[in-house]
Structure 1
Amino acid sequence: MKVAVIGGGINGVMTAWAFARHGDSVDLYEKGHLMSATSRASTKMLHGGLRYLEHGHLALVREALQERSWWIRQAPHLVRPLELLIPIYRNGERAKWLVGAGIRLYDLLATGSGFPRSRWYAAADVAESFPGLQRNHLLGAYGYWDAQMDDYQLGLWAAEKARESGARLHEQSPVLRLDPTTGEVSTAGAGACYDRIINVAGPWAEELLIRSGVTSAYRLDLIRGSHIVVSGRLEQGCVLQVPGEKRILFVLPHGEETLLGTTEVRQESTEKCAPSDDEIEYLVGNYNRCFREKIACSDIIGSFAGIRPIVASKTDFSAASREAVIERHDKLINVFGGKWTTSRALAEAVITKSQH
């Protein structure tokens, strides 16, 4: 079968690799450079998504927890287990028992993944691990495990595996239009016909359909996630609960520096994705609320932002989810949403959809 994959982020790369492994002829088209946009602007975590448990997405969390083990087995030079602490304060956003219940469920869903189980740390132990953490009203912390990655290098590693399997990866080759009936993919240079077209262009997937005159049952909400980098090295990660919100923020080791993120702000278009002043102040403020040694905007040595495409039904705009949706139109398969961690499993699901 002749397959065109549109999009050179992690979901596109993994989809191209999967089809190539199955013996198909694969061309991947990327409008810029591989792994140069959303997939490079992640929080650098391969994780199940502890917060998704509050929304009942048990299947998504379990799949992701199992998939992170695949990544660490395949590329241990680019992925490592990382313990994260969730400090629990008296009168905090979530009660100790509630966080503990979520952590135990996370452990249960991770059964067989090979990761250590979570544990409770007394306040004195937390102060030793994170001496800069605010200690007033600190009850202790839950420690749990996920995996940290170099998202850019890991994506390029996967791209090389796709090439080795026979996929042809075309960079700086934007797709102008596609035709679900004929299977034609039009680029600036020429056009070619395929048995299957996989539209996995991330935030740009809906724009391509509009240009091609193709209707879909779904739309994308574009959500910007911003991060900042400050000096100072951490040995383990920390998860901060944000007062008055259900969100959490990560404070993570990032080489010899520290990474803070992420925000969730609606992005009106795919253009000019960068952290806003408000987002930077939000990250700095929440860090300063939990750490004794304060930082200022002038201490920031780097920042970046990425767009996450969140799937919403056109008939129910409130039904947004991090779970991916796969939609078939003749020879065209649209892939909306998806997570870095589950990109391999998503690629296999696309292959299954293409065979029916």
Structure 2
Amino acid sequence: MAGIAVIGGGINGVMSAWELARAGHCVTLFERDTLISHTSRTSSKLLHGGLRYLENGEIPLVRRALADRDWWLTQNSKLVHPLAITLPVYRQARRKRWQLKAGLWLYDRLAGTSALPPHQWLTRQSLLSSKDHLHAQGLQGGYRYFDAQMDDEKLGNWAAGQARLAGVVIREHAPISRIACDGSVYCSGQILKFDAVVNATGPWAARLLTDSTIPCAFALDTVRGSHLLLARPLSQGYLLEVAGERRVVFVLPWQGQTLVGTTEIRQTPDTPVQCSDAETRYLLALYNHYFPAASENEISGSYAGLRPLLKSHRDPNRAQREHALIRHGCLLTVFGGKWTTSPSLAREVAVQVQAMLAP
């Protein structure tokens, strides 16, 4: 039985630790703060295939994400449930009806034998009869498809509980200052030795390598995603174009309110992560473009988190959402990764670690 350290208590670290323990290893998970306390609890609350990633040609990622989405649905039906999402079609929209139809057809095909229903066309009258009161001018109808909604913090802590049951030792408030290619971990003045180390620190993965004087050819974009909460109910989810941009934004029901997000703003990991005034105005304007106007007084809250994206495009919206696993001796570093695909990423980590341990 090998001793393995997993650094990082976000969802990718938790799922990797769980999978490694299931494979029979002795696993210790180190988290500098508390589990699921940073990036992994500031998501858009969706487990989804990534419909918009099809525009970037990321078909293998979407197929894998759809399979992982369905895995989550079967694992915890209390914290994960199907969510209907509508893409309204407006006459002046950037994406035409046939383009949306083609993308949704492919999305359904990639999902295979999913328990979630396929997409369907909704008439203009059907959309206008909704109590959400979409703006009528130029509306031609829309498509409805399904993904899954979750409580990210509760689901992440559920996964951590499963990891504990599998034998993972979890050490919170245990910051790691350095790691080494020989399996050494520097924690609170102590040097701990492991057979393998997994660096799953998300936006801070590259920083930990730098602090440990370990060179790496890969680079990360750390991108802030901000969300607003509006004190208004919503009957279903929406995926909406940003006027004049290529981007799309989710407007979702969330605990009796409306969740609007996300943005994509580059920033460094050591800068405070919070929704800016400019992002607040941006998201509120997006909402008001499609629905009866909400005032700033109806904003009940906001939150923001950092996402680690592979540095692959000058526009964060077009950056790859894939991940990469990079080995340095007994050290494996996870670059990138998504909430939805954490189960399949964890399986890849386990396979790579097993190869590292092989004589």
TM-score grouping bracket, smaller chain normalisation: over 0.9
CA displacement at 1:205 relative to structure 2: 0.7
2:203 equivalent in structure 1 = 203
Paired with 2:31 and 2:279, the residues of 1 have a C-alpha distance of 29
Paired with 1:131 and 1:269, the residues of 2 have a C-alpha distance of 37
| Root mean square deviation of aligned Cα | 1.3
Q: Is the 8 A contact 2:204 2:269 kept in 1?
A: no
Paired with 2:131 and 2:207, the residues of 1 have a C-alpha distance of 45
CA displacement at 1:352 relative to structure 2: 1.1
Percent of matched pairs sharing the same residue: 46
Local SS of the residue matching 1:108: helix
Q: Is the 8 A contact 1:226 1:262 kept in 2?
A: yes
CA distances 1:54-105 after superposition (whole Å, capped 9, x unpaired): 0100010011011111111110000000010001000211111111110111
1:61 equivalent in structure 2 = 62
2:166 equivalent in structure 1 = 165
TM-score w.r.t. length of structure 1 = 0.97
Q: Is the 8 A contact 2:308 2:336 kept in 1?
A: yes
2:78 equivalent in structure 1 = 77
2:134 equivalent in structure 1 = 133
1:324 equivalent in structure 2 = 323
Paired with 2:266 and 2:72, the residues of 1 have a C-alpha distance of 30
Matched, 1:217 2:234: no
Matched, 1:273 2:239: no
CA displacement at 1:271 relative to structure 2: 2.9
2:3 equivalent in structure 1 = 2
CA displacement at 1:114 relative to structure 2: 1.3
CA distances 1:244-278 after superposition (whole Å, capped 9, x unpaired): 21211111010111100000111133330000111
CA displacement at 1:239 relative to structure 2: 1.0
Matched, 1:304 2:279: no
Matched, 1:121 2:117: no
The residue identity in structure 1 corresponding to 2:105 is R
Q: Is the 8 A contact 2:229 2:260 kept in 1?
A: yes
Q: Is the 8 A contact 1:326 1:336 kept in 2?
A: yes
Local SS of the residue matching 2:128: helix
1:337 equivalent in structure 2 = 336
Q: Is the 8 A contact 1:82 1:148 kept in 2?
A: yes
Local SS of the residue matching 1:209: helix
Paired with 1:347 and 1:130, the residues of 2 have a C-alpha distance of 41
CA displacement at 1:131 relative to structure 2: 4.1
Local SS of the residue matching 2:129: helix
Paired with 1:240 and 1:22, the residues of 2 have a C-alpha distance of 42
2:156 equivalent in structure 1 = 155
Local SS of the residue matching 1:218: coil
Matched, 1:284 2:281: no
1:47 equivalent in structure 2 = 48
CA distances 1:196-228 after superposition (whole Å, capped 9, x unpaired): 100000011111111100011101111000000
The residue identity in structure 1 corresponding to 2:15 is M
Paired with 1:221 and 1:131, the residues of 2 have a C-alpha distance of 36
CA displacement at 1:139 relative to structure 2: 0.2
Paired with 1:297 and 1:279, the residues of 2 have a C-alpha distance of 12
1:230 equivalent in structure 2 = 230
Paired with 1:49 and 1:70, the residues of 2 have a C-alpha distance of 15
**Aligned pair in 2 of structure 1 residues 258, 207: CA closer, same or farther (>3 Å)?**
same
Paired with 1:77 and 1:131, the residues of 2 have a C-alpha distance of 26
1:93 equivalent in structure 2 = 94
Paired with 2:29 and 2:132, the residues of 1 have a C-alpha distance of 48
Paired with 1:270 and 1:41, the residues of 2 have a C-alpha distance of 17
Q: Is the 8 A contact 1:224 1:264 kept in 2?
A: yes
The residue identity in structure 2 corresponding to 1:178 is I
Q: Is the 8 A contact 1:117 1:145 kept in 2?
A: yes
The residue identity in structure 2 corresponding to 1:311 is L
The residue identity in structure 1 corresponding to 2:280 is I
Paired with 1:269 and 1:24, the residues of 2 have a C-alpha distance of 31
TM-score w.r.t. length of structure 2 = 0.96
The residue identity in structure 2 corresponding to 1:308 is R
CA displacement at 1:317 relative to structure 2: 7.1
Q: Is the 8 A contact 2:240 2:250 kept in 1?
A: yes
Equivalences for residues 16-55 of structure 1 within 5 A: 16-55=17-56
Paired with 2:244 and 2:296, the residues of 1 have a C-alpha distance of 23
Local SS of the residue matching 2:122: strand
Paired with 2:130 and 2:335, the residues of 1 have a C-alpha distance of 40
Paired with 1:261 and 1:218, the residues of 2 have a C-alpha distance of 28
**Aligned pair in 2 of structure 1 residues 87, 320: CA closer, same or farther (>3 Å)?**
closer
CA distances 1:133-162 after superposition (whole Å, capped 9, x unpaired): 100110001000000000000000000000
Structure 1, gaps ≥5 residues long: none
Q: Is the 8 A contact 2:4 2:195 kept in 1?
A: yes
